[in-house]
Structure 1
């Protein structure tokens, strides 16, 4: 473990905010130590939350996946990029007509926040909204381009180009699909997912959390460490590759660095003793 002098110990927080993909699980496989760590923190009276750029699944689907890994949490503990974007659009623009390129849950969240979801080929939409779309095709790309050429604004749940899957294999993400649309249209999408401030400030404000009492745990320097650091949270970077230094272009250094959750669990167990 790497720890900056004068910083807190791992147990000196009241709330622990975990990323999901590449942190708690890799595709269908749980990360080593994930179940034990989350169970131990909960047993110690700590609050455990999850903040993810996942735009494919609902909180209930995530809960079911976690339960299959012997990780027991509530749907209300799961905070996802789809919900963040639907809420942000309603807060800033009211009810909109949205053409959505994404999975079913993304469509449902937009409708739940009083937006009207129209077919992707309906160019009367105010905005194009994109999430990770497992059925993305060339025809879908053509319709997305047409939406923006018709004057629609461009929003995405997140800008990640990939996330870690089984055995660390890169799984294409929303940002990769959005990059194709941008390459054709020259338009840059707007996002509120990590690392952007809205993802963190909305969570802190909704739950009346003090950023100084929270620790963000994730595998991405760009989204988890930088985003949380900018919001005033301490961070725990999971670095299975063993990079010895934080890249020089990253303004926020992680508070803690571990290879994975198994090592975080071992350290927490030592602190408990």
Structure 2
């Protein structure tokens, strides 16, 4: 694979920078290195519940300093997409502050009276009334948008139904599939690059999942790095018909490589060895 000079970075959050609200090896140092060198970067998450300010505070408590303007959520990507589709449009929203704030700031009117869109995001308080209203609005012609296709989310008690699961319920009732903006749709990466003013040829993506981060990164034309500090294991890689540019144990290896792109001997050795 031809070596690429990477000067912009997109990185997933959970499994790459933090795990259960604890910083992963090298995460704080990597963000500090990017900030000190004025490297353009964004921290990405499919979670649409929280605002960038909320997430910045969460990362700070973990020991990682990420300004809120360096965080890009599926809610922000959804708002940016819809603002381009229907400037100053209207929407019925099922979601929490991360989504409603993003939609307000994008110029949308929140309404249940003949909206242009029904926008579904993640919430801890899905209500039968709101889901019923969404179904009726979609049947009446509102376009169906969802922030991300994740079907479950974590909690202290175990998994919770997430956006994709509730979207499936609405689809079953309406026969309408939503347009998902978040990962694995490369739309989310392209909107992040637009925010950075970045070009795909010189942008890297760091993630911990083959089925979202890596595949979306490849489809967006990015230099992809899989870290094994989250969901994916080395054995998982061989189940997919595509591969990342590099496989690392954690973002600590990016610091140790000295190149910032995982293209040293250690990372390539990690790519070739199979268990």
Q: TM-score range by the shorter chain?
A: 0.7 to 0.9
* 1:184-232 deviation per Cα after TM superposition (whole angstroms, max 9, x unaligned): 2221001222222322222223322122222111112122111111111
TM-fit CA distance, 1:123: 4.7
Match of 1:175 in 2: 164
Q: 1:115 to 1:6 in 2, by over 3 A?
A: closer
1:193 paired residue among 157, 167, 182: 182
Q: What is the root-mean-square deviation in Å for CA atoms of aligned residues?
A: 2.7
1:195 counterpart SS class:
coil
In the alignment, structure 1 residue 265 sits paired with structure 2 residue 256? no
1:56 aligns with 2:43: no
Given the two structures, how large is their TM-score scaled by the length of structure 2?
0.82
- Distance in 1, matches of 2:3 and 2:133, equals 50
Counterpart of 1:142 (choices 84, 109, 132) is 132
Shift of 1:177: 1.8
1:152 maps to 2:142: yes
In structure 2, C-alpha distance between the alignment counterparts of 1:227 and 1:242, rounded to whole Å = 18
3-state SS of paired residue (2:237): coil
Q: How many residues align?
A: 258
CA distance in 2, matches of 1:19, 1:148: 32
Q: Which residue of 1 aligns with 2:106?
A: 113
1:244 aligns to what? Answer: 235
Q: How does 1:66-85 map to 2 (within 5 A)?
A: 66-85=59-78
* Displacement after TM superposition at 1:133 (Å): 1.1
Match of 2:39 in 1: 46
Residue of structure 2 in register with 1:28 after alignment: 21
Distance 1:215 1:130, change over 3 A: same
Aligned residue for 2:81, secondary structure, equals: helix
**Cα distance between partner residues in 2 of 1:171 and 1:234:** 32
Counterpart of 1:206?
195
**In the alignment, is the contact (CA less than 8 A) between 1:55 and 1:80 conserved in 2?**
yes
Q: Which runs of 5+ in 1 are unaligned?
A: none
Unaligned runs of 5+ in 2: 260-275
Q: Relative to 1, partners in 2 of residues 1:98 and 1:209: Cα closer, same or farther, differing over 3 Å? A: same
SS for the counterpart of 1:134 is: coil
| Post-superposition offset of 1:143 | 2.4
- Superimposed CA distance per residue, residues 8-31 of structure 1 (whole angstroms, 9 cap, x where no aligned partner): 6xxx52222111133222343333
Indicate the residue corresponding to 2:94 in structure 1.
101
Secondary structure at the aligned position of 1:257 is classed as strand
Q: Distance in 2 between matches of 1:65 and 1:112?
A: 22
After superposition, the Cα gap between the structure-2 partners of 1:208 and 1:133, relative to the gap in structure 1 and judged at 3 Å, is: same
